[in-house]
Amino acid sequence: MADEYTPPNVWTWDKASGGQFSNINRPIAGATHDKDLPVGKHPFQLYSLGTPNGVKVTIMLEELLAAGHKGAEYDAWLINIGEGDQFGSGFVEINPNSKIPALVDRSGDKPIRVFESGAILVHLAEKFGAFLPAETAARAETLSWLFWQMGSAPFLGGGFGHFFAYAPAKFEYPINRYAMEVKRQLDVLDRQLAAHEFVAGSDYTIADMAIFPWYGGLVKGWAYDAAEFLAVHEYKNVLRWADQLYAREPVKRGRMVNRATGEPSGQLRERHDASDFETRTQDKIAAE
């Protein structure tokens, strides 16, 4: 057990509370500094980072382009959340919640800002009539799983991931609590994928794109070094589905965009043209 904590009457901000993200976490919203966002030549301007929430959107954009939706061309700008870029005035204007990903749709008369990865996926799916079935029951099933992901992943990332990988020390109580919940969520998915090819049924949808970077990443061993601890080999249907998605080229490309950590060959820190994937050389990586 961790030492007991007696909460004071009024919580106060202890800047030195520790943990990997203590330097960026704040109890107040709003901009910390003036900084305009760059704008590129394409209809969609994405301001993001290659985390699971960011990757949902880059997979969707790459899938749209691969499916022939030329209007989905995009510039992907790097927002370094470790450096506090999410608190720049330009970013806060497009996402008052100061979290990646955020998108500006400049394809119409007036720019439209969209924040929250789920809202971005729905915006793009509706705009291009793709990866969100039009038929009422299939649409409801897809949106149910999409919102399941939006509600569930904070237990995986903010709960389990934080206490297992990032907290200043390992505490049994929160790790137990969140490991139990994450294993329950994996079992929910595993049972659904035992009966269906994709999460929402027989179609590949934005629900798969939202869930893959989190739960697919977990069973593939990409997240928190927790595959053994969570015995992810038990979730055979999730593994089958994760491998199936990872075999898709747009998924591989989406995982590279705005990635700023890991193997240099897996990183495309900014993407401004489809040819960026092909023309990326070791020299360019070194210069970035």
Ligand X SMILES: N[C@@H](CCC(=O)N[C@@H](CS)C(=O)NCC(=O)O)C(=O)O
| Least distance CB 22 / ligand X (angstroms) | 11
How far apart CA 280 and CA 268 sit, in angstroms, is: 8
DSSP 117-128: HHHHHHHHHHHH
- How far does the chain reach from its first CA to its final CA, in angstroms? 45
Site string for ligand X, 8-27 (x = CB under 6 A): ----------------x---
Burial of 220 (0-12, 13-18, 19+ CB in 10 A): middle
Piece in contact with ligand X (CB under 6 A), picked from 68-76, 92-100, 240-248, 275-283 = 92-100
Nearer to ligand X, 29 or 140 (CB): 29
Select from 94-102, 200-208, 212-220, 266-274 the region that touches ligand X (CB under 6 A).
Answer: 94-102
CB of 105 or CB of 201, closer to ligand X: 105
Q: In the set 45, 58, 86, 258, which binds ligand X (CB under 6 A)?
A: 86
Minimum CB–partner distance for residue 247 and ligand X (Å): 25
- From CA 64, how far away is CA 280, in angstroms rounded? 22
Q: How far is the CB of 149 from ligand X (least distance, A)?
A: 9
Check residue 114 for interaction with ligand X (CB under 6 A): no
* Among 61, 72, 81, 251, interactor with ligand X by CB under 6 A: 81
Nearer to ligand X, 156 or 280 (CB): 156
Beta-strand pair 44-48/74-78: parallel
Q: Which stretch binds ligand X (CB under 6 A): 95-103, 219-227, 245-253, 265-273?
A: 95-103
Least gap, CB of 112 to ligand X (angstroms) = 16
Specify the pairing of strand 44-48 against strand 102-105. Answer: antiparallel
Binding ligand X by CB under 6 A: which of 45, 117, 192, 205? Answer: 117
Sorted by sequence, the CB contacts under 8 Å of residue 201 that are 6+ apart come out as: 138, 141
Q: CA 134 → CA 54, 127, 128, distances in Å?
A: 25, 12, 12
CB-wise, 24 or 66, nearer to ligand X?
24
Q: Which of residues 217-246 bind ligand X (CB under 6 A)?
A: none
- With b for 16 or more beta-carbon neighbours within 10 A and e for fewer, the 120-137 pattern comes to bbbbbbebbebbbbeeee
**Peptide bond before 101: cis, by omega within 30 degrees of 0?**
yes
Residue 116 touches ligand X, criterion: CB under 6 A: yes
Check binding of 100 to ligand X (CB under 6 A): yes
**Residue closest to ligand X, measured at CB:** 99
**Is there binding between residue 59 and ligand X (CB under 6 A)?**
no
8's tokens: 């004071």
CB 19 within 8 A of CB 79: no
- 127 makes contact with ligand X (CB under 6 A): no
**Site residues, ligand X (CB under 6 A):** 24, 51, 53, 81, 86, 98-101, 116-117
